[in-house]
Amino acid sequence: MIAAEERVQASVGSLLSVRDLSVEYPSQAGPVPAVRGVTFDVAEGEILGLAGESGCGKSTIAHALLRLLPPDARVTGQVLLNGEDVLTMKFGRLRAVRWDEASIVFQGAMHSMNPVQRVGDQIVEAVRLHRPGTNDRQGQAQVGELLERVGLPARRARDYPHELSGGQRQRAMIAMALACDPKLLIADEPTTALDVMVQAQVLSLLKELQRELKLGLIFITHDLSVLVELCDRIAVMYAGRIVEEGPAEAIFERPAHPYSWGLSGSFPRIGDPEYRRAPGGLPGDPPDPQRLPTGCPFHPRCPRAFEPCPDTDPPMYPAVHGGFAACLLLDSKLNPEGARA
Amino acid sequence: MAGLIILGFFLIVALAAPLLADSRGLSPVGATGGVLDPPSLDYPMGTDDLGRSVLTLTIWGSRISLMVGFFATALSMVIGAVIGIAAGYYGGWRETAMMRFTDWFLVIPFLPLAIVLASILGRSLFNIILVIGITSWPGTARLVRAQTLSVKERPYVERARALGAGDWHLITRHILPNVFPLIFANTILVVAIAILSETTLSFLGLGDPLRISWGTILEFAFNGGAASRGAWWWLLPPGVAIVLVVLAFTMCGYALDEILNPRLRRR
Amino acid sequence: MGARRYLTAKVVQALFTLAFVLVFNFFLFRILPGNPAQILARQRRLPVEAVRELERDFGLKDPLPQQFVNYAGDTLRANFGISFKFRRPVGEVIQGRIWPTVLLVGVATIGSTVIGLLIGIYGAWRRGSGFDMGSLGFSLVTYAMPEFWLGMILLILFASTSGLELFPLGNIRTPGGPASGIAHLLDVGRHLFLPALTLILALLGEYALIMRSSLLDVMGDDYIVTARAKGLREAQVLRRHAVPNALLPTVTLVALNLGFVVSGAITVETVFSWPGLGLLTVEALQAPDYPLLQGLFLLFSVAVIVANLIADLIYGYLDPRVRVA
């Protein structure tokens, strides 16, 4: 656990620092843990990629950062945004922080915009809320600027969301997210529903804007390859936990955690009949958060599981790529051959 | 299950009516009380303008009201199920024609149609049942059709068809058993509507004047000036009985719907 | 362009339905056992000449197709025949009774919609609260209640000599009372109060339920989370985003219901002797006055069709997605 402490030390002065964040949803069969003790930092102007299969808790984290989870969700830990804890601040302060200091580009812009309001009106609404002095003309002008900045003609402000294509809608959503000059942008699977060409355009737009505006950016996706090009650092999540974290390229090239091998499509498949059936990806399904496997939650699907895995929940170990990974293979006592994956 | 308890209570009252109240108290000749007596020990719910016990009337009225409710619902269900299954099963132009017809029927306002039908057919219990039955089926037909369409596409039905099963076999062995739960939940909701309809039609003077139902009691009460004369005891017992029974059927219907169609339970 | 096609499609649909109602109305009064003239003759023991005259009035001697052509032509020219009871053209009789019903149904619809929507919104907002449970229970009970029974109970409480005697027992105005000016309006208002209250109470619960479930549906949508993320207050989220979207289905249903409320007024008008179309229907039923009944039935059906059309148009107007699609 020495490693974890080191990571706490490293966080001072960052734009966002999340400490031991846990989220439980209530259910008839008792609380369901969706996020279990997640810790990470985002510095100003840094891009952090958050990767994992659906249901691993990455979207829950995105919502928890601005306290947008349903009221019955139990959230513990700290979310320090510019040093202030979002989770404990007064509701009035929270409303002022939302969108002004951090905004979100939601998954699937089709449903994230109000279908019966014009796009421009929805953008102006955010501006007016946080800059109360703004008059109609200034608001209109600002909307036009924002739309043009994301590559849409200003007249699109008068369109309804359904009149835009998927890519245009996502651009409009990005424009809306930038409306109040936030320091931090959270992009929750912003390109998932788009086709490959449009996906690439939206990605390069995001990257360009990030560089221009020196945004801190959290990019959430299930597609590790997308993150490599975009991000400075990557955190891989499994079953509500970060299982590997480190420099983007290093994680993609030399993942230390067997789960990351699977995500990056570099699973050793040859010779093992079990994996022939699931080409190019992970065999099996992500675990049911209500019935997590004992020990390392990944062990039932892990091609490299060995004796201690079902009993020991692995802590974070330093990995060769300079980051950390939660895998017992990296424990020099349990696995003397070392961390050679 | 408050709904079930209320329903059970009224069913027992209806079945045990001869034990609970003397049927001679229904005829004006056999009436023993004074005119419009307020509730007393002898007449716990007072008397009507002919001196009959309102309690006796209400107890016996439950028989006719429930009976009309059940029979009218049965008729409506049969029509709705036949049209719904036929439309869903056969498809094509037959489906289009039948569903158009159903949609048109949905547009025709129920009460005026029932009034017109009842006035042409004449006042009788049978006609009341008939009128309610043939005016309340379109909703069922649409539900049943939708369910039939989904059942029809299931693999085992396809397989049975491929093995050469005839229409009749497919409908009775495969479609009907799968559509039935839905029909059943819907039935319970329709009973509530049928009982309310009986009350309304009887109130408007279209019921059988010789058979006492909760609706005809209210008709007598209205014509006897119960409202202007302040005879609340004449109105309350049948009215409260109607509200309780309809409420109970509605509650049971929704409860059953939740059990049978778990998809709806989410929200 | 999309708007025009939507409009055309809806109007054409309404016209087809209207045609069906015409055909249905025609057969309803002719195919059923015993045609109206025969029934009438039986009930009134009319002399043979009178029956002949009736049959001629209905054109019952002509072949069926010819009868239909005549009937359709007459109907389209707003010629609905002569009322047996009033000995005047049916159209005229109906015209004289239309406004009281419009007044009653109008006031009741506006009242029940406004109050019902507010109750539904508040219930959804404070889901599971005492208010929510109470209004749910109220809605279910009023749904289970025959509205004429409610009317009679209100009469006993507020109008009868054993009650508060605050309001008149029935009719639309005091006979021999003021016929014009403010006094007249007040008089009508006093007569309107109880029947309108009855209808409002009868409709309220349903509208509250619809609004509540529609709003609960909308509150789970993604753009509501977006609105919260922008930093809007909960009340602003509700007012600017949730309620306008939840209103779409609700307003449509209220408009759809309008046509049925008109016929639902039949029993309430009867209880309060409110001289509108509902009371007229009961009078025609008791006579029995078949031409009048036929005319009224057609009118009620048309009311539903028109209400349907209005609902479609409102929906098209409120929802930008329909306008284009």
Chains B and C touch (3+ CB pairs under 8 A): yes
Confidence of residue C192 (pLDDT cuts 50, 70, 90): very high
Confidence of residue C47 (pLDDT cuts 50, 70, 90): low
Structure tokens at A272: 């093992």
The conformation of residue A287, written as its DSSP 8-state character, comes to: P
Query: Considering only residues 88 to 117 of chain A, which have any Cβ-Cβ distance to chain C shorter than 8 Å?
Result: 95-100, 103-104, 106, 108, 111-117
Structure tokens at A70: 């349903």
| Interval C166-184 mean pLDDT | 83
**Residue C228, min C-alpha distance to chain A (Å):** 7
Q: Does C104 share its domain with C209?
A: yes
Confidence of residue A55 (pLDDT cuts 50, 70, 90): confident
Q: Does C21 share its domain with C55?
A: no
Q: Is residue C67 part of a domain?
A: yes
Cross-chain Cβ contact B108/C301 below 8 Å: yes
Q: Specify the pLDDT at position C280.
A: 94
> How confident is the model over C58-97, as pLDDT tens digits?
666 677 788 788 888 888 877 888 887 888 888 999 999 9
Q: Specify the pLDDT at position A1.
A: 39
Q: Where in chain B are the domains? A: 2-7+44-266
Q: Does C265 share its domain with C185?
A: yes
Find, in chain C, the residue whose alpha carbon is nearest to that of A112: C223
Q: How far apart are CA A266 and CA A256, in angstroms?
A: 12
**Residue C321, min C-alpha distance to chain A (Å):** 7
Structure tokens at B145: 């059709």
Of C145, C305, C308, nearest to B243 by CB-CB distance is C145
Q: Does C211 share its domain with C316?
A: yes
Q: Does C148 share its domain with C40?
A: no
B7 CB neighbours in chain C (<8 A) are none
Determine whether B7 is exposed, middle or buried from the number of CB atoms within 10 Å of its CB (0-12, 13-18, 19+): buried
Whether B112 and chain C come into contact, CB under 8 Å, resolves to: yes
Cross-chain Cβ contact C225/A95 below 8 Å: no
**Chains with ≥3 CB–CB distances under 8 Å to C:** A, B
Parts of chain B with a pLDDT under 50: 263-267
Helices (H) and strands (E) in chain A, counts: 12, 12
| Interval A91-101 mean pLDDT | 93
Q: Does C137 share its domain with C275?
A: yes
Confidence of residue A98 (pLDDT cuts 50, 70, 90): very high
Q: Specify the pLDDT at position C229.
A: 94
With a CB cutoff of 8 Å and minimum separation 6, the contacts of C134 are none
Q: Specify the pLDDT at position C177.
A: 79
Q: Specify the pLDDT at position C165.
A: 81
Q: Is residue C211 part of a domain?
A: yes
Find, in chain C, the residue whose alpha carbon is nearest to that of A130: C231
Q: Is residue C316 part of a domain?
A: yes
Q: Specify the pLDDT at position A129.
A: 92
Q: Is residue C93 part of a domain?
A: no
Q: What is the CATH number of the domain that holds C138?
A: 1.10.3720.10
Cross-chain Cβ contact C144/B196 below 8 Å: yes
Q: Is residue C23 part of a domain?
A: yes
Q: Specify the pLDDT at position B261.
A: 63
Domain annotation for chain A: domains and CATH numbers = 2-101+182-330 (3.40.50.300), 116-181 (no CATH)
Q: How far apart are CA A267 and CA A320, in angstroms?
A: 18
How do strand A47-51 and strand A216-221 relate by DSSP bridges?
Answer: parallel
Whether B110 and chain C come into contact, CB under 8 Å, resolves to: yes
Whether B240 and chain C come into contact, CB under 8 Å, resolves to: no
- Look over chain A and give the mean of its residue pLDDT values, rounded to a whole number: 85
Q: How far apart are CA C187 and CA C164, in angstroms?
A: 18
Residue A18, beta-bridge partner list:
A40, A79
Q: Does C293 share its domain with C282?
A: yes
Q: How many CB atoms lie within 10 A of CB B9?
A: 14
Q: Which domain holds residue C210?
A: 2-32+98-324
**Residue A320, min C-alpha distance to chain C (Å):** 39
Predicted confidence (pLDDT) at residue A77 exceeds the cutoff of 70: yes
- Look over chain C and give the mean of its residue pLDDT values, rounded to a whole number: 85
> How confident is the model over C277-287, as pLDDT tens digits?
999 999 998 88
**Best residue in A125, A128, A176 for a mutation probing chain C (most C CBs within 10 Å):** A125
Long-range contacts at C171-177 (CB < 8 A, ≥ 24 apart): C171/C272, C171/C273, C171/C274, C171/C275, C172/C100, C172/C274, C172/C275
Q: Is residue C60 part of a domain?
A: yes
Q: Does C181 share its domain with C279?
A: yes
> How confident is the model over A209-265, as pLDDT tens digits?
999 999 999 999 888 878 888 899 999 999 999 999 999 888 888 888 888 887 776
First to last CA, chain A: 22
Of C223, C231, C241, nearest to A129 by CB-CB distance is C231
> How confident is the model over A11-38, as pLDDT tens digits?
456 899 999 999 999 988 888 999 999 9
Q: Does C155 share its domain with C185?
A: yes
Q: Specify the pLDDT at position A114.
A: 92
CATH architecture of B2-7+44-266: Orthogonal Bundle (1.10)
Cross-chain Cβ contact C161/B228 below 8 Å: yes
**How many domains does chain C divide into?**
2
Q: Specify the pLDDT at position B262.
A: 53
B191 CB neighbours in chain C (<8 A) are none
Q: Is residue C180 part of a domain?
A: yes
ipTM surpassing 0.85 = yes
pTM of the predicted model as reported, rounded to 2 decimal places = 0.83
- The lowest-confidence range among C44-53, C148-157, C176-185, C248-257 is C44-53
**Chains with ≥3 CB–CB distances under 8 Å to A:** C
Find, in chain A, the residue whose alpha carbon is nearest to that of C245: A116
Q: Is residue C90 part of a domain?
A: no
